[in-house]
A and B are shown apart, each in its own frame.
Chain A
Amino acid sequence: MAAFAAWLGAAVIVLSDGRRGLALGLALITVAFTLLAWMGGERIAAVALLFGGAVAVVQRLRTGLDVWRVMPPGSTPRLVLAIGGGLLALWIATSVMTGAGAPLRFAALGVVGLMGSRVLMADIKPAAVLTSLAALALSVAVASGMADTGLGPSPYIAAAVIALGISLIKVQDTNGG
């Protein structure tokens, strides 16, 4: 369930332009990653993810267009990307890759892939880029949990700090903001 929640959060970020939609997507990803880290025995990492993600969500709710704007007109390619990307990540995580930890793999691959694709979209706004970056940072930390030699909570803490820091950045209007 947590892995699917992470994918759903990434899909909402892909489909949204308004701050409420973006914040909802980031909140879903934060909660899902927190649960996955907690279930993996990384308690400190889970707390760090929750803190960093929660601050980023609150900051996102305070800046940008005060609307949902989930699936605005012309969102069909984004919808296809969200569903197609999720199915591809699910197939790779469960059928191509073997061994334990399929939920973690699905969540990490799905969020990394969708957030990377989101930033490449032509009509993206700075708020969506910053939200995608925060989610990408958190997913990089979660993906580090797949390493044979555990890296401990440090990548999670670093990612949480980065997500928090990114959410505080004000992009200036003069450069396209």
Chain B
Amino acid sequence: MEPELAIGLPAAGSVWAAVLQARPRAAFAGAAALGLSGLAVVVISTPGRSSEQLGITFSLSSESRSLLIAAAAALALVVALAPMSVERTLLLRWGLAGLAGMAAIGAATSLDTVILTVLVLAVLQAASVGSRPFTTRMRGPVLAAALLALAAAFARNDGPPILARLAGVGLVAGLSAALGTLPYIHQFDPAERTVTSPIPWIAFIGPVLALTVLTRARDLVPTEGAAFGAMMIGLGLLNMLWGSLASWTTEGGAAAWHYSFMADWGLALCGFGLAVADGERAALLVLYSILLSRLPLYLWSRQSLREKRPNDRPINLLAAAMLAGSAPFAGFAARVLLLRGATQLYSPLALVIGLGLLLWLPPSLRLGRSVGLPRGRQAWGVGGALAINVVIGLYPQPFLSLAGL
């Protein structure tokens, strides 16, 4: 019952933190213990082993397991080294709820379970107090759930070949709606708290969700692999272009970060769409980088963004280099693998992607400056995120092996 515990323990931790919010220390200690227990279960779990203790078949794949571990590590990093102005118990409570949902999504063996989990996560997030209206916050995830459900229905019924293609379109569109990788799908309010904003969808839940939907898609529409890959690459290129240009030119600093996540997702979608081993490796490294570096840096830049205190110190240049995917950071290894995969498939595509990569430079310099001058816990956090990224960039194989690649 490893998958069930991987879901149940973080969920229990989140509930514990919510129930004991009047006693913050007890809430934090209990929730942290339950969350760490959940992480331990994920770490020691055997990939691919099925369990049906709750009547629903769950099985954690190597890739899902690796991203769950990365997400849990990212949560531990941002909670342990949260800025002074951030309430750590609240961050932990929402992070554990997201982690439980991600474990359910990652361990789901049917698309229906994934859709129902997305609905639950969306309602929980939208029902909490935030600056955007409840109805606005529900639109993206509900559109995603409806499109994925229609895609599953099209894929499961007999009929002309167009049904399978429509199923492929529905799966890609549904995934895009859930992540927020198309412009204007998720309305972004720079002043909103991170936990209730669209950022958790694109930067925290998204990686595991995308991986699971793509795995299920291969089972549902096995004959449409080429069309599916072409759609993913098209969507990826669109996100690379739109995300990097918008991140460069938009006025708001927080909005620039939001667009930068979209640009990174462009790389990941291209990698998955290539359907070659190097492409998958590149996509996985990009997702590691989003979870373990870009998301924590975004959280630590929030205070500096509010106070409008950009900085040009060496730490800011290092952060910019990491965000731009330069050597020796993980983004560089991902880009090399992506270009190699694209060359194997169709060399002009590698040229297009290569030119697109140049667009990362100007927005990365801007985002690096927006981190400000980190002090205290925040400085340790920025240093930690950069160090993790360098380790993945210099020696990515253990991280890829963890995902079975």
Contact = CB atoms under 8 A, between A and B. Distances in A.
B156 A148 contact: yes
A97 B163 contact: yes
Contacts of A115: 142, 146
B146 A98 contact: no
B110 A99 contact: no
A147 B156 contact: yes
B157 A155 contact: no
B interface SS class: helix
Interface string B107-147: 00010110110011001000111111111111100110111
Given A105-B153, A116-B142, A169-B127, 20 more contacts: A97-B158, A112-B146, A115-B146, A116-B150, A119-B143, A126-B134, A137-B116, A140-B145, A141-B112, A143-B153, A146-B156, A146-B157, A148-B156, A155-B110, A159-B116, A162-B119, A169-B123, A175-B132, A175-B134, A177-B134
A76 interface: no
A162 B120 contact: yes
Nearest to B112: A144
A47 to B, nearest CB: 14
Contacts of B137: 175
Nearest to B133: A176
A136 B119 contact: yes
Given A157-B55, A158-B116, A151 B129 contact: no
B134 A97 contact: no
A26 to B, nearest CB: 15
Contact of A112 (B55, B110, B116, B150): B150
Contacts of A58: none
A157 B129 CA distance: 29
Contacts, number: 134
A146 B152 CA distance: 9
B339 to A, nearest CB: 38
Interface in A148-177: 148, 151-155, 157-159, 162, 165-166, 169-172, 174-177
B135 A96 contact: no
Nearest to A153: B55
A162 B113 CA distance: 12
5 closest A-B pairs by beta carbon, nearest first, are: A176-B133, A116-B146, A144-B112, A154-B55, A97-B157
A166 B110 CA distance: 22
14 contacts: A96-B163, A119-B139, A120-B143, A129-B134, A136-B119, A136-B142, A143-B153, A147-B110, A147-B112, A148-B156, A157-B55, A159-B116, A176-B133, A176-B134
B119 to A, nearest CB: 6
A98 B158 contact: yes
A119 B119 CA distance: 13
Contacts of A152: 55
A152 B110 CA distance: 12
B138 A133 contact: yes
B146 A144 contact: no
A105 B136 CA distance: 29
A143 B152 contact: yes
Interface in B15-64: 54-56
B149 interface: yes
B160 interface: yes
B110 A113 contact: no
A108 interface: yes
B159 interface: yes
A144 B220 CA distance: 13
A65 interface: no
Contacts of B132: 175-176
B5 to A, nearest CB: 18
Contact of A137 (B119, B130, B160): B119
Nearest to B147: A116
B112 A98 contact: no
A25 B304 CA distance: 49
Contact of A155 (B113, B129, B139): B113
Contact of A109 (B119, B135, B150): B150
A62 interface: no
Given A97-B159, A136-B146, A140-B112, A172 B129 contact: yes
Contacts of B120: 162, 165
